[in-house]
Structure 1
Amino acid sequence: MARLFGLPPLGDDGAAPRLAARVWSQALRNPVPAGRLGQGYARVVAGLVSYADELRRRGMLPEDAEPDEVARSLIGTVQGVMLQRALFPEADVTTFRGGPRALAGFTPEPGS
């Protein structure tokens, strides 16, 4: 995701996930970091919505895919991976690649 927004990579020493967990914790208690975090979140959502919309136009996402839903699902996945890395430093990011790929091919049963 860093490359998507032209940001430098965060490294693999585990510092970024631990920092993110601290920031999220502070944002729950303090409106100042919560406001800043909310502004950043809105920018990331907007960028990913635009990206998902472009993927949909190119036929790389289903026609009925909702770009906002795609964006928020991606963010939630990244946040979940970061939180797991903060709590369990031995968690390897590469192990999280197969699950979304498998889910992308998942076909729910009718009516579910």
Structure 2
Amino acid sequence: MARVSQAHLDARRRQILDGAARCFARDGFHGTSMQDVLKEAGLSAGAVYRYFSGKEDLIEAIATEAVNGVRRAFEGAARDTPVPAPDVLIGRVSRSLFADGLESGRGLEPRAYAGLIIQVWSETLRSERLSAALTEAFGGLRGAWTELVGLYREAGVLRADVPDEHVARALIATAQGFIAQLAMFGDTGPEVLENGLRGLMSMDPVKAG
């Protein structure tokens, strides 16, 4: 029997995840059955269960991918010299995140992909397994952002009395809020986030105080 290549295995796994993501974005986690995923992916039960034991496995994989996608975008930005300002940085990361939703076979528009991410966050409130997986992924993301904030401090553009991690958490919260607004209202985009941050960054602290 011919040995199946790793590239083939990876492509099949991607096919399953993309099909599941489309189902979840369209009908929600609890409105989607494994039969729906099989049909969307165009695969047999045996082919799918070779990679995933059920919906919870699929949800965890999709959730971890989304978090790691943001982390990779920030790690990539951190390699730029000089490091981009926060408005440029978060705009770039948000575009990268939603490009992930459109790539391959997912074909999810930004609002649909944002809605999928919101579902993932909600699911962590009932699934200890997913909560643990995302907590670990979030730790890596927070570490990457904290490292990036450290580069701002080294460049002398950040005040010294605010811990790097606090700034990192505020940046993460900004990105999360953007995702929530996009999912619920669909009337925003990366350029709105960039412009808003640029406006806040231009405030004179003396006059504002």
TM-score (norm 2): 0.47
Instruction: Please name the residue that 2:73 is paired with.
Output: 3
Please give the alpha-carbon distance, in whole angstroms, between the structure 2 residues aligned to 1:101 and 1:64.
22
Please give the alpha-carbon distance, in whole angstroms, between the structure 1 residues aligned to 2:196 and 2:188.
14
How big is the shift at 1:98? 2.1
Q: 2:139 aligns with which of 42, 53, 57?
A: 42
SS in 2 for 1:64: coil
SS in 2 for 1:29: coil
Aligned residues: 109
Instruction: Please name the residue that 2:33 is paired with.
Output: none
Please give the alpha-carbon distance, in whole angstroms, between the structure 1 residues aligned to 2:196 and 2:182.
16
Higher helix share: 2
Q: CA RMSD in A?
A: 2.2
Structure 1 residue ranges, 4+ long, deviating more than 4 angstroms after superposition: none
SS in 2 for 1:32: helix
Does residue 168 of structure 2 align to residue 98 of structure 1? no
Instruction: Please name the residue that 2:3 is paired with.
Output: none
How big is the shift at 1:60? 2.5
How big is the shift at 1:101? 2.0
How big is the shift at 1:28? 1.2
Q: Aligned ranges for residues 57-96 of structure 1 at < 5 Å?
A: 57-96=154-193
How big is the shift at 1:84? 0.7
Identity %: 25
Q: Which has the larger radius of gyration?
A: 2
How big is the shift at 1:105? 3.4
Please give the alpha-carbon distance, in whole angstroms, between the structure 1 residues aligned to 2:151 and 2:161.
13
Where do 5+ consecutive residues of structure 1 fail to align? none
